[in-house]
Amino acid sequence: MITIENFILITILSPLIVSVLTPFISKNTILRDFLGPIGGVISSWGAFNIMSSALNNQNITLNIVKIAEGISIGFEITPLGAIFGLVASFLWIFAAIYSVGYMRGSKEKNQTRFYAFYAIAVHAALCIAYAGDLLTLFIFYEVLTFSTYPLVTHKQNEMAQKAGRLYMSILVGSSVILLLPAIIWVWVATGSLEMSQNGVLDGKLDVAYAPLLLAMFVFGIGKAALMPIHKWLPAAMVAPTPVSALLHAVAVVKAGVFTMLIVLTNVFGIDFLTKTGASQWLIWLASFTLLATSIIAIYKDDLKARLAYSTISQLSYITLGGALATSMATQGAALHIITHAAGKITLFFVAGALYVGAKITKISDLNGHGLSTPLIFLAFFIGSLSIIGVPPMAGSWSKFFLMLGAADSGYVVVIGVFCISTILNAFYLMEIPARAFFFKKERDIKVKIPKLILIPTLITSFLTITLFFFIEPFQNLTSMMVGKI
Amino acid sequence: MIDILTKNLSILVVLCPLITSLFVVLIPNIFFSWVLTTLSTFLTFLFSILLYQEIQIHSHISYALGKWMPPIGIEYIIDKVAIIPIIIISGISFIATIFAYKIMPEEIENKSISKVYSLWLLAIAGLLGLVTTGDAFNLFVFLEISSLASVALVAMGAQKDKQALVAAYNYLIIGAVGATLYVIGVGLLYGITGTLNMEDLTNRISDLNNNKALIAGFGFMIIGIMVKAAVFPLHIWLPRAYAYAPSAVSVLLAATATKASLYILARILFSVFENSENLINITLLYVIFPLSIIAMFAGTIMAIYEKDIKRLLAHSSVAQIGYITLAFAIGTKASIAAGFIHMFNHAIIKGGLFIAITSLGFYIQKRVTINNLSGLGRAMPITFFCFVLCSLSLAGLPLTAGFISKLYLIKATISSEAIWIAILILISSALSVVYLWKMIEVMWMREGRKIVIKENPTIYMSLIIITFFNIYFGLDASLVVNGSFEAAEKLIGDLK
């Protein structure tokens, strides 16, 4: 019988083992390439078990090392962490299969290095999901940044170098200059690095400082990509598409908003935020980011750039949900982590498939190619519907809860923001299938999508529909998170 | 036998390198002179470990030299504070000596090698003497021994690059000025108190609070030591000296030389003058604090614009010394402990970086400048990997020793309600990522000439050892952290 503590180890260590083994079996390319999917299956098996025990409300902690008095690396399962862990490990299976197809299809160099760092990044994301205290969270937050640098600069050319610089300077700079002192401030104020379900700051921190501390957290968590620290995400799109798909639509950015939600709920606490109003300014900033990036997305002709801006906008939904500080909005934000992940990874898979199969990167070049690869565009269509929030796609749930939360909190304007953004979403995402199916073909391109790319894409798009019907366990977890059960 | 050994440990630590240095010079053979040096540094390291264990039991060891009882005779004092620099100096010199085996004959003519090793041991003996002695004048003697030996060592770099002579001359003159200032200070204090023993001094100056000679003496001593510790703007000797010294010497000096003086600075501020609270508070607030902040930024910015890698690392040392003196300037128990933690960690970080860079120089047979680094990351994976880890440690990234220093430093500043200082420290450390990343990027991204290099195990072994410590003390820091807190408590425990 495997204990839950061991399941934590299984989940977080399997990507690490994959990454360590990869360089040693680089000669045998078939074995090397399928190490990732195998690791993904094992890892998500662990994550499923962790989630079911989280549903049973078990309190699970696991200490790894004690660094010095009062600081240690340890893990603890929170409802939100269980959700994020499952999302990251489960989608890794499909992203790993997809990367094999992509890397082979576009004949990339240094594939061994790519797979090794890819797995480390997943490992870091899972460690963030299960982090037991603020320091562990911070440590793996940084590990995630550094492990993705070789992936972003994979092409090792001038453009990659520039993008890599921007990526590192924003993410490392913001986290070191603001996030770290914010965490230490909490440490000094409360005397420990622990978090708790109802927040730890109530009564420990002078209320006048709360907005300042919150600002340090919000701008320190660069991975959540709020304006004006969002520029790294479009820059990171120089990476091969599997990186953009899993890391810059799921693992990295979700690690950012996950940290943001954890800070809002488990460090500040919803009640503390409502009482002090410390997060009011964040509502406006997130709403602004949400609308502004949606508008920017409309003007982007590069498919990946458009998806990147759409991601920033969707991340702001989650931050906004947390900032509204009502239990409904927070639940919606947590659910949006799952639903957006499934939808957005599909869209990126499609972008990569078009690049490998037809060398198309621009939206204006898509005209009329819909019928040459109908399945790929169907997947894109389904993914888009989910992101827009049309039932029966998963995305409709999270939007529903977010809207309810906005109504609850009394910020009627925010409901308007959600509505406008939905229209904008539809506008910039639907253009793609519309051009593909209804526009006239301008030139003939031979389109050939490898099976290893097509299958994962179809599976994740199918996932957005299934999730609509199986949202209940996740919804139970989110209600546990806000203390309803 | 064992008993005699344990009783005399405090003097053996100094005597061991001092005596061997006299013998090494007589051995003409390169290999055997190296073996003897290694043996001697190893024994010294062993003695300091034993001393560490003794300190855990007795917590304060006083050793009267030649049985002349203090305060008349010279007293050696080892306590929980002094043991930190002793371990740093003896440990790093052992690793540096191992590293010197292949590197030294590359840069120094065979016939002068035994002389270099002799000076090498003399410098180590001087540094260890500095931190063990409890006598203000004896401290001056060791200060001069270590400085003169280091100057001569730097000058040895002239066999490869004539610039070393200028560097050594600068070092000599500025160092001599510093030592003179220090000795003038000691003279003034002796004039008003009639004692040279530090503990005795502490007691006797307690009722001389507004004496002008006391203030002048204190000023001279502090400035003298600040020259030696390379506190901004008295650091101008340092970049040249580190850059043009023979490679192995740069490693030794960068990791140890300023640490001893920083320790003396802490001891003068918080122990010898602990009763002149007013004087100390003014010095900390109006002299050391602003200078440290400037050093943090000036050193980092100089490093960003520097092309020569050894000088770049030397400028970064100036900034890092700024962190340590800043920690002292805040003057709480937690911050002084943070200063000692960083003192230890910076020694292993800079030691590692200098070893990595000088081994790169050894392989490419050129001065290491930023442009010469192109493509070396792929040609030398082991050295590059260790270099990256040490760089991350310097930048203070999690899971490395450097992170622990930064964590405690920031915590200490936030605890004393100075969050803006914390932000300044972090901005400066984020800037340090700029110059570190510049080097890493060139090694990793840029295509260099196709060179095939076979990395030499005798060279990268010491690099791996010191890199291992950078990671180990990032994961299990309790030894360093507890030691530093005990040291800080010993220094100011009865004050605040």
Res B326: pLDDT: 92
pLDDT of residue B149: 92
| Chain A residues inside the 8 Å CB shell of B482 | 68-69
Residues of B in contact with A139 (CB under 8 A): 398-399
Cross-chain residue pair A67–B477, CB shorter than 8 Å: yes
The closest of B414, B104, B470, B429 to A205, measured between CA atoms, is B414
What ipTM was reported for this prediction? 0.81
Interface A-B: count of C-beta contacts within 8 A: 73
B448 Cα to chain A: minimum distance (Å): 13
Spatial separation of the C-alpha atoms in residues A482 and B370, rounded to whole Å? 53
Average pLDDT over residues B351-364: 86
Given A231, A264, A297, which residue is the final one in a domain? Answer: A264
CA angle B143, B244, B25 (to 5 degrees): 60
Cβ proximity of B346 and B405 under 8 Å: yes
Q: Cα separation of B200 and B72, whole Å?
A: 10
Interface check A4 vs B, CB under 8 A:
no
> In the prediction, which pLDDT does A239 show?
82
Query: Which pLDDT tens digit goes with each residue over B137-180?
Result: 999 999 999 999 999 999 988 888 888 899 999 999 999 999 99
Which amino acid is located at B249 in the chain? V
CB contact under 8 A, A146 and B397: yes
B377 touches A: beta carbon within 8 Å: no
A208 and A308 fall within a common domain: no
My answer on whether A315 and A177 are in the same domain is: no
| Partner-chain contact A65 B423, CB within 8 Å | no
My answer on whether omega of the bond before B233 falls inside 30° of 0, hence cis, is: yes
Min distance A270 CA to chain B CA atoms (Å): 25
Rounded to an integer, what distance in angstroms lies between the CA atom of residue B330 and that of residue B270? 12
* Residue B471 at interface with chain A, using a CB cutoff of 8 Å: no
Cis before A374 (ω within 30): no
Nearest CA in chain A to B422: A181
Pairwise CB contact (< 8 Å): B398 & A138: yes
Q: How far apart are CA B468 and CA B478, in angstroms?
A: 16
B408 SS3 class: helix
Q: Is A272 within the bounds of a domain?
A: no
B481 vs A68, A138, A184: nearest CB? A68
Give the number of C-alpha atoms closer than 13 A to the C-alpha of residue A165, restricted to the C-beta side: 15
- Does residue A164 lie within any of the structural domains? yes
Question: CB–CB of A442/A360 below 8 Å?
Answer: no
* Tokens 């001599």 belong to residue: B176
- Flag if A188 and B474 touch (Cβ within 8 Å): no
Is the CB of residue A143 less than 8 Å away from at least one CB of chain B?
A: yes
Amino acid at A250: V
Which residue in B157, B176, B303, B360 sits closest to B244, CA to CA?
B157
Between chains, do A177 and B427 touch, taking CB under 8 Å as contact?
Answer: yes
Residue pair B132/B10 in contact by the 8 Å Cβ criterion: yes
> Which residue type, as a one-letter code, is found at position A327?
S
Q: Is A397 inside any structural domain?
A: yes
Burial classification of residue A165, based on how many CB atoms lie within 10 Å of its CB (0-12 exposed, 13-18 middle, 19 or more buried): middle
The structural domain count of chain A equals 2
Q: 């100089």: which residue's tokens?
A: B302
Segment 14-73 of chain B within 8 Å of chain A by CB: none
Whether residue A159 lies within 8 A of chain B, CB to CB, comes out as: no
Alpha helices in A325-450 (DSSP H): 327-358, 374-388, 395-409, 412-438
Give tens-digit pLDDT for B87-123: 999 999 999 998 888 888 888 888 888 888 999 999 9
For residues A300 and A399, membership in a common domain is answered with yes
* Inter-helix orientation angle B381-395/B333-364, to 10°: 160
**Which residues 421-460 on chain B approach chain A with CB closer than 8 angstroms?**
422-423, 426-427, 429-430, 433-434, 437, 441, 444-445
Is A328 within a domain?
A: yes
What does the pLDDT read at residue B449? 64
Q: How many CA atoms lie within 13 A of A228 on its CB side?
A: 0
Closest CA of chain B from A191, distance in Å:
11
Residues on chain A touching B414 (C-beta within 8 angstroms): 181, 184-185, 188
- Mean pLDDT for the stretch of residues B455-466: 84
Q: E strand or H helix at A62, and its extent?
A: strand A61-68
CB contact under 8 A, A177 and B423: yes
CB-based contact A227:A158 (threshold 8 Å): no
Does residue A273 sit within a domain? Answer: no
Q: Are A130 and A239 contained in the same domain?
A: yes
Q: Determine the pLDDT at residue B42.
A: 94
- Global pTM value: 0.87
Per the omega criterion (within 30 degrees of 0), is the bond before A228 cis? Answer: yes
| Contact residues for A191 (Cβ-Cβ < 8 A; gap 6+) | none
In a domain, A271, yes or no: no
Percent of chain B with pLDDT over 90: 32
Let me know whether A201 and A232 are in one domain.
yes
Report CB contact under 8 Å: B482, A68.
yes
Could you tell me the pLDDT band of residue B495, with boundaries at 50, 70 and 90? very low
Confidence at residue A377, expressed as pLDDT on a 0 to 100 scale: 86
C-alpha atoms less than 13 angstroms from C-alpha of B155 in its C-beta half-sphere: 15
Three-state DSSP class for residue A195: coil
Would you give the DSSP letter of residue A237? G
Q: What is the mean pLDDT of residues B36-62?
A: 89
Tokens found for residue B394: 């310097």
**pLDDT at B265 exceeding the cut of 70:** yes
Distance CA(A340)–CA(A388), nearest Å, equals 10
Q: How far off is chain B from A173, nearest CA to CA, in Å?
A: 6
Interior/surface letters A24-58, b for 16+ CB within 10 angstroms, e for the rest:
eeeeeeeebbebbbebbebbbbbbbbbbebbbeee
pLDDT for residue A484: 59
Q: Which of A66, A67, A158 best tests the B interface by mutation, with the highest count of B CBs <10 A?
A: A67
Q: What is the DSSP letter of A28?
A: S
Mutate to test the interface with A, among B297, B419, B475 (most CBs of A within 10 A): B419
Instruction: For residue A67, give the nearest of B396, B433, B476 by CB distance.
Output: B476
Nearest-CA distance A111 → chain B (Å): 16
> How would DSSP label each residue in B350-386?
HHHHHHHHHHHHHHHTS--BGGGGTTHHHH-HHHHHH
Structure confidence at residue B496 as a pLDDT band (50, 70, 90): very low
* Residue A31 · residue A73 · CB < 8 Å: no
User: CA B448, CA B372: separation in Å to the nearest integer?
Assistant: 8
CB neighbour class for A183 (10 Å; exposed up to 12, middle 13-18, buried from 19): buried
| A214 lies in the same domain as A323 | no
Which segments of chain A have a pLDDT < 50? Answer: 485
Task: Tell me what pLDDT residue B341 has.
Answer: 93
- Chain-centroid distance of CA A410 in Å reads 28
Same domain, A296 and A212: no
Range of the domain at A385: 279-479
Does A454 reside within a domain? yes
Structure letter (DSSP) for residue B269:
I
Instruction: Indicate whether A119 belongs to any domain.
Output: yes
